[in-house]
Structure 1
Amino acid sequence: MSAGLGVILGQTKNLFSYNTKSLLLRYVQTSENVNPKKYTASILLPQTKFPSRISGKKRVDMDKYLLEILKDITIRSKIIRGQRVHFRPGWDCHGLPIEMKALISLKESAMNLTSVEIRQKAQKYANEAISQQRDVFMSWGIMADWKESGCYFTHHTSYVINQLRQFITLYEKGLVNRDFKPVYWSPSSRTALAESELEYNEQHVSKSATIRLLLDVLPPALESLKGHPVYALIWTTTPWTLVANEAIAFAEDVKYCVAEDSEMNFYIVAENLLHKIQEKIGILKPSITITGTELRGGRYLQPITGLSSPFVPGSHVTTAKGTGLVHIAPGHGMDDFLIGLANKLPVLSLVDENGCYTADAGPDLVGLNVLNEGGKAILNKIQSNVVHTENYQHSYPYDWRTKEPVIVKASKQWFINTSALKQQALDSLQNVSVYPVCNSASSTNSLTQQVKMRPYWCISRQRVWGTPIPVLYYRDTGDIITNRDWNERLCHLMQKYGLDCWWELPIEKLAGKKLLRELEVDASELERGQDILDIWFDSGISWSTVLPDGKADLYLEGIDQFTGWFQSSLLTSIALQGAAPYKSLFAHGFAVDDKGHKMSKSLGNVIDPEEVTRGGEDLKKKPAYGVDTLRWWVASHGTQHTLVPVTEKLLKGSAESVQKLRLIFRFLLGALHPYPCDTPIEPEYHYLDKYLLHQLYHYDKRIETLYSNYEYHNACRVIIHFVANTVSALYCHLIKDRLYCNSINSSHRAGAVDVISEILAVLTRSLAPILPHLAEEVWLHHPDNLASVPLFHSAHNLPKDWDQPSIAKVIENALDIKAAITKLATINTWELAATITLNPAQYSIVTALQKDESSTTSQLCELFQLSAITLIAKDGIEDAVIDLKPIEKSLCARCYRYPEPQPGKLCARCDDIISHLST
């Protein structure tokens, strides 16, 4: 890299910095007997009030100021391209987390609150949280109409009424019903849970048991063992469910071994698991081999009741672990329940809402917690059946709110019949695009597999902070009462009295005279339902309230929403409008610490976004990085990984990237400083100028594609690379002489300034979706923005004629030769002259930059930063032959580019400029 003015952009590590005063002194002092300040006024140095750095309180204040004209990455990327975007922010306000947080400070006194009092406290908590979150989102520069009328809230009357109407439509279609089925149940929350409300504890330890169950009826294939004790071996991690055992399931295509122990007992076990079983219970001698289907007709004695129970086929049975035989309790497992339905088995659940055995389990079990002393009591009760126990560490579902283990138990709940919706849902997903592209295949497969495997959807919860399921029941039979007319009456009552009327009004008022007359009953014979709708139904129905046509271009959320909002929205939309509610899905990752751990206050590894943007109490220890740094981190790291690390190192790296961009923007703005000129100037463009426009054209297309595909991490990478290399290290470095040392009315200088203006326009818009504050701040300092109009209000279309591959071919060939010159040069290249010998093909390309055989003023001299170049064409050579020689004269004291004609004199260009200034 050349010296002199070449240091204006510095070497690579200081690529974005410049200091105009030290720069001027450096080059003018290289000539003897020259006054260092003599030519200061004639150098057209960059001038701008755009600050080179903003930190601390000034950073926070600037972010606040920019909010006055700012209303986010996806939204902004569409708007900046001239698209209209309808984004309506919404809050899911119901659910157990809010109810629990609202009551946590009340402790035991919360148990004495009425349903309405609980709802009032939950609503107060939700409203306060909404207000705080809305302020934070606004401070992050997220573009939306943040007035209450511009948002939606799932606890508002209009939203709840829409839910009630959608529910009754589903009920009329036969897609929702009440049934006794197993669901995930949280004893700690005392409510049913959805799969998406679970988190799996990989460190959970269960007391597992291998249990023998005596056959009382041998299948035909084992008739030869008649008179001998034959046992089926089962293995379970939930011994407490044995109280509800109704069958043993086998895999039809698995080979089973009947093996004998030393006491002439025979045990049925999967053949390939026999060696593992022997490690637990001792040596077994194989006797007979049969297939799973040959176990049909066999029966065994249930270990608690002693009743005879059947062997049944089970598609979920594998030989990955255990014994190859699985105990079936239809009331305590989803697969078990389906097997129970297929084989007409009883669905027994003897566990209450606290996770304790009911009186029906027997006097010795009643009141025992099934996850603790209940399981132990069962093993003691059937001690003669237990052949082995062990502590088994495995993945187990926990309530994501209370962090306590859950159980599966059958209870009366409301369900959506997903079986009737699956195929249409799967078909609709064929037309849904999933982003980011790098994860689309796995994400799409994840969603389709979950839809395929989902047996049913429990939409009822046993809480009060939510939307009530609009049904009444007969007190004596529990039969359901609901219809559309009565549902509309309920909607009217809610509009008139508020949502709490469901819990406040007497049954007579809720039911109404018309319904009581039609049913020919007294109000005392009825009772209101006590269940509320699942929050995933709450949020999943949002398309019917928010979207004018019931379909969004994009749903954007975290990867966990493939089991949550993405899926609940899909199923409700298929059920109610026969199509998916979205054209595309975008799934981002989750923030973790540098060790990959989820952020938790208890672990002390939480990084508060507000602290990132505004800083901590001590700004020296916790600096205010600003909103843009946070957004750059999100864009750079949030889309390509499922776990996204948030570390001080990454945040500092993001801050450095934003700072580098700020400095180059400062340079570009400074170069646009409008020096006074008496007459209009027609720009004259060099090949390098046209090359930069060509590169800018393709950069813009690339960025547009990346934004369209939601590849924000790649957009960040392309932006930094283009700015650091093409714009700064190449173009800005090579035009410095024209920019600073040509006259104000130079058409060549005007061409460079014109290109810088285009660079600034394109770069600012390409950055705006990710760094809106920086982009707007740049725009505020732009000489053309006289009215302080927000950037996204101004369009900028790139002409097709910027795309000039022929220009690119010339410059890129020349840059290859320049790279060779740089390797050879040992002094400032402006102090060198070169003779360059090229093959005819190279020569014909490069001569576009230098028409004459020898020149000191050609565009090739500017590009190579040589004082003189002589070009020679020669056959028979492959690579350029370069001969560098020092010039005989010193460089001009003003521009430090052209050789001086005489010692102490200026070059002809500089002399002419100084002469005109003096007159």
Structure 2
Amino acid sequence: MADTPPDYRDTVFLPKTDFPMKAGLAQKEPAILARWQAMGLYQRLREKRAGRERFILHDGPPYANGDIHMGHAMNKVLKDIIVRSQSLLGKDAPYIPGWDCHGLPIEWKIEEEYRKKKLNKDDVPPAEFRAECRAYAAKWVGIQSEQFQRLGVMGDWDDPYLTMKFDSEAAIVGELLKFAETGQLYRGAKPVMWSPVEKTALAEAEVEYEDITSTQIDVAFEIVEWPFEELEGAYAVVWTTTPWTIPVNQAIAYAPNVKYQVTIAPDGKRYVVAKDLIASFFARNGWTYDDQVYSDDEPEFEGHMLEGAVARHPMHHLGGFFAKPRPFLSGDFVTTDQGTGLVHMAPDHGEDDFELCKRHGLEPVFAVEGDGRYRADWAWLGGQGSVINPKFNAPDGPICSDLREAGALLAASADYKHSYPHSWRSKAKVIFRATPQWFIGMDRPLPPSRLREGPGEGTSGSAAFEAGPPLTPPASGRGNDPTLRELALDSIERTRWVPEKSRNRIAAMVEGRPDWVISRQRAWGVPIALYVNRRTGEYLRDPAVNHRIIEAFRAGGADAWFLADHQTLLGPDYDAAEYEPVGDILDVWFDSGSTHVFVIEARYGMDARADLYVEGSDQHRGWFQSSLLESCGTRGRAPYAAVLTHGFALDGQGRKMSKSLGNVVDPLKVMSESGADILRMWVASTDYFEDVKIGKEVLAGASDAYRKLRNTFRYLLGALDGFTDAERTSEFPELERYILHRLAELDRELKDAVNGFEFNRYVRRLSEFANEDLSAFFFDIRKDCLYCDAPSSPKRRAYRTVLDVLFNALVRWMAPIIPFTAEEVWQTRWPGESDSVHFSDWPEVDAKWLNPTLGAKWDALRGLRGQVTEAIEPLRREKVIGSSLEAVVAIRPELSAATLLSESELAEMLIVSHANIVPELMGAELEVVRTDFSKCGRCWRHLPEVPEDGALCARCSEVVSG
């Protein structure tokens, strides 16, 4: 019987590590999080970074209402990655999380609870109701805080900012009073978006647009006064998709340059309609289009000739308001895109209507109440509604029925599809409704001197993110006094926008936005703490009174206003009987727009401002804009140096997530099953500047990318087992120097990605380096050296030294992306230490390692390696050879990379038995055959020096003998 070959496995230096291949993140992450909390990771990091350059990312406040969703997760993870990466760069990068606690959503939830108990909110004392709202918000702040922390978001969770804290409410009312003192605040009756369900005004940012089907009607207004005789006996036809506004009509608008025609319809009446819209008007009414209808005898005229014409309301027989004449008014907004080219004007219910009618002395009449019903004393449909009810507006509803009976209703059909605004909270349709509201004017001259009485121009925490010189208010055509709109537009130009295209979006919004309506008719929020003189209607502007108001808020919060002894607040100079305290509350966007005051300035100094705001693209009309306007109105500049906008999280097919579709991806479920680091890998890997997809397949891709990185760390930990400083060397072979060159290139790319907030590029380059440069190349080539060279071998020492450099770089670079795994890796290598990877600075990568010449050489060699691997593969498939170590490669010198190394070095790089440079190869550039050499029993290389399979090569013999 043949002798059993010796077993040399115990002599091979295989990697050893306790770091498991299976991550088990869902089970491990909570324990790591608990360790961070116990060690006070965030506060210790603040101590370590004290005095360094500061980077402030100001957290936009999510609403304290319900569990977090995928949009929350995406937003918070991206912010955390940015903050952690800035901290890694060595900066002091605090993160103060916060919540928006006031406003309608919370109030609505408490009202729902009342309705379940058949109670009415109005029957509850206001202080009691507000206390319930406060408790509800506090509950969800606690729940969401735990959920955000579970994502690995590091911040000052023990001291977050809340808009309902007394100091916050005092700061908010203080900002309001600054607007009042500078004359930017005014009260006026203008149409605003109003929710009849929630009985309050809404801001544009509180509205979302949904497709609906409405009733469209044509209504005939009899012309009773005419500037030329052809209009005698004719009817002006208006078209509308809001029949409920006809009872509030006060005029008819025309386009001055549009051609109109008086046409005889099949019903025998003469109608005035824009010439280009006669055919569609006939079609809506079911009349046959006939050229004979358009007799040459019927007059055609330009719209300006309608000046001086007067019509009467179809319900004129009711008298009073309805008996008043309806003048024809020239309106530049009238088009011939649809309808009849004549627009009925209801100044209560449209911005264009309001402005045009106001210029002609026609004021709102406030016929529609806050609940959407006509007021009880209204002559037509008094006490009826609600006006947003489709049945009320239907072709057989009360409005159309009355118009039909009056002989004024022409076409009526419930088939008009269009986009319509809805409250994003109640999901109910909103209306434009004129009510007395408080506004901040966009175009009122604002003396810069008044602005400078507040905080200074402000400085960004990080010079790298400064966005231009201090603000100089722009010329406005009003002397040296800029308007809020001009200040905001100027600040937009001075701000860094990421991506750059978002600059144009917010600029267009600010350029065209109306005055800011800041009042709400609700209970839960910061009150508009002003006193209005009952005789003059002017609000009081007295710094001493304002100071007392602010101090009262600081001591007792917003309730101090509702429970106040107003004479005490007014002081001895004013009689409370002469002043009415305002009962409205502030728009919650004013609350959140003021957060820079009680978060950034309060914690970091009056001249501080945020380096960065980060939110979804919808915040161009929300928080980005309200913060910009608030700061420009009180400080003359933006509260941020840079703004990053990300897209929305969609399902795997690119659809908006909704419970009705059953396509919601719950971040809490993902974390419980796969771990937060997988979610974080997904966020960092996406092109988050656009909308992104998430589903099973997408998460599977993130998991695969994570697994490969984890395996890289597992290899490094195993290969570095027992490594000490005594083993470290500074003498490196070319391959190691090439990898250090690639590391230096990567260092530059990653820093550039961090500065550009391009973490998809950051993760992609890290993954490519780990998978392609290391696992598939460097580790593959050097595994023979690691396993089989003597521990004292200079080459092995050099390899392990470079592995240590790689480990220290990669674990730090990956820490912002997958913080739980980076901590696990760190603790595996240095168990029991109290430190954390998250205390680390950016790895020190010597710029001298950059060597473009060496890089080009080894890039060429890697290209050759790819060709050889491709040539070997058919022989492996055909089982001619097993591993590449059984291959002998012959290469023509024309493959120039082959001559860059000696034949033995080439064989090592190619991981083959032998490599020969053969000038006389016939036809092919390279050739692969199976080796005839015997296989070393320890390193498995096929070498001429091995006498028989199982024997040792010279190197292995020396190592084993020792």
TM bracket, shorter-chain basis: 0.7 to 0.9
After TM superposition, list the pairs within 5 Å mapping 1:738-817 onto structure 2. Answer: 738-782=785-829, 788-817=835-864
Matched, 1:217 2:225: yes
For 2:476, the equivalent position in structure 1 comes to none
Cα deviation 1:392-429 (Å, max 9, x = unaligned):
22211111111111111100110010233222212221
Contact kept? 2:741, 2:849, Cα under 8 Å: yes
> Displacement of 1:872 after TM fit?
5.3
After TM superposition, list the pairs within 5 Å mapping 1:121-520 onto structure 2. Answer: 121-148=132-159, 151-202=160-211, 204-219=212-227, 223=228, 225-227=230-232, 229-262=233-266, 265-281=269-285, 282=287, 283=289, 284-285=293-294, 287-304=298-315, 305-362=322-379, 364-372=381-389, 375=393, 376-383=397-404, 384-391=407-414, 392-419=416-443, 420-435=483-498, 437=499, 440-441=500-501, 443-474=502-533, 480-516=539-575
The one-letter code of the counterpart of 1:382 is L
Classify the secondary structure of the residue corresponding to 2:193: strand
> Displacement of 1:597 after TM fit?
4.8
> Displacement of 1:902 after TM fit?
0.9
Classify the secondary structure of the residue corresponding to 1:893: coil
1:559 to 573, 598, 617: 617
For 2:468, the equivalent position in structure 1 comes to none
After TM superposition, list the pairs within 5 Å mapping 1:840-919 onto structure 2. Answer: 843=896, 846-850=898-902, 855=903, 857-858=904-905, 860-871=906-917, 881-899=925-943, 900-903=945-948, 904-916=950-962
Q: Which runs of 5+ in 2 are unaligned?
A: 43-79, 316-321, 444-482, 602-606, 876-880
What TM-score comes out, normalization by structure 2 length?
0.83
For 2:13, the equivalent position in structure 1 comes to 44
After TM superposition, list the pairs within 5 Å mapping 1:412-811 onto structure 2. Answer: 412-419=436-443, 420-435=483-498, 437=499, 440-441=500-501, 443-474=502-533, 480-516=539-575, 523-524=576-577, 526-548=579-601, 549-594=607-652, 596-601=654-659, 604-614=662-672, 624-637=673-686, 639-642=688-691, 644-674=692-722, 680=727, 682=729, 684-782=731-829, 788-811=835-858
> Displacement of 1:263 after TM fit?
5.1
Contact kept? 1:830, 1:865, Cα under 8 Å: yes
Q: Which runs of 5+ in 1 are unaligned?
A: 1-31, 517-522, 615-623
Classify the secondary structure of the residue corresponding to 1:731: helix
Contact kept? 2:893, 2:899, Cα under 8 Å: no
| Alpha-carbon distance in structure 1 between the residues aligned to 2:765 and 2:341 | 55
> Displacement of 1:152 after TM fit?
1.6
Change (3 A) 1:892 1:324: same
Cα deviation 1:172-207 (Å, max 9, x = unaligned):
2221111111111111111111111112221x2222
| Alpha-carbon distance in structure 2 between the residues aligned to 1:145 and 1:878 | 71
Contact kept? 1:329, 1:348, Cα under 8 Å: no
> Displacement of 1:783 after TM fit?
5.2
For 2:86, the equivalent position in structure 1 comes to 78
Contact kept? 1:67, 1:139, Cα under 8 Å: no
Matched, 1:835 2:840: no
The one-letter code of the counterpart of 1:417 is G
Matched, 1:59 2:31: no
| Alpha-carbon distance in structure 1 between the residues aligned to 2:94 and 2:197 | 41
Cα deviation 1:587-643 (Å, max 9, x = unaligned):
2223333455544456654433222212xxxxxxxxx2111112222223471333x
Classify the secondary structure of the residue corresponding to 1:551: strand
| Alpha-carbon distance in structure 1 between the residues aligned to 2:428 and 2:25 | 43
| Alpha-carbon distance in structure 2 between the residues aligned to 1:650 and 1:769 | 21
| Alpha-carbon distance in structure 2 between the residues aligned to 1:729 and 1:824 | 17
Mean Cα displacement is larger for which, 494-503 or 157-166? 494-503
Q: How many residues align?
A: 845
Classify the secondary structure of the residue corresponding to 2:574: helix
The one-letter code of the counterpart of 1:58 is Q
Change (3 A) 1:432 1:328: same
> Displacement of 1:246 after TM fit?
2.2
Cα deviation 1:539-593 (Å, max 9, x = unaligned):
0111222223252111111221111101111111111111111121112223333
Change (3 A) 1:861 1:459: same
The one-letter code of the counterpart of 1:359 is A
| Alpha-carbon distance in structure 2 between the residues aligned to 1:349 and 1:63 | 61
Mean Cα displacement is larger for which, 827-836 or 332-341? 827-836
The one-letter code of the counterpart of 2:221 is L
Change (3 A) 1:689 1:324: farther
For 1:25, the equivalent position in structure 2 comes to none
| Alpha-carbon distance in structure 2 between the residues aligned to 1:799 and 1:43 | 33
Change (3 A) 1:377 1:862: same
> Displacement of 1:85 after TM fit?
1.6
Contact kept? 1:213, 1:303, Cα under 8 Å: yes
The sequence identity of aligned pairs, in percent, is 34
The one-letter code of the counterpart of 1:88 is I
For 2:102, the equivalent position in structure 1 comes to 94
What TM-score comes out, normalization by structure 1 length?
0.87
| Alpha-carbon distance in structure 2 between the residues aligned to 1:496 and 1:478 | 29
| Alpha-carbon distance in structure 1 between the residues aligned to 2:32 and 2:218 | 64
Mean Cα displacement is larger for which, 153-162 or 298-307? 298-307
> Displacement of 1:686 after TM fit?
2.8
| Alpha-carbon distance in structure 2 between the residues aligned to 1:657 and 1:700 | 20
| Alpha-carbon distance in structure 1 between the residues aligned to 2:817 and 2:538 | 56
| Alpha-carbon distance in structure 2 between the residues aligned to 1:728 and 1:361 | 80
| Alpha-carbon distance in structure 2 between the residues aligned to 1:766 and 1:680 | 25
> Displacement of 1:447 after TM fit?
1.2
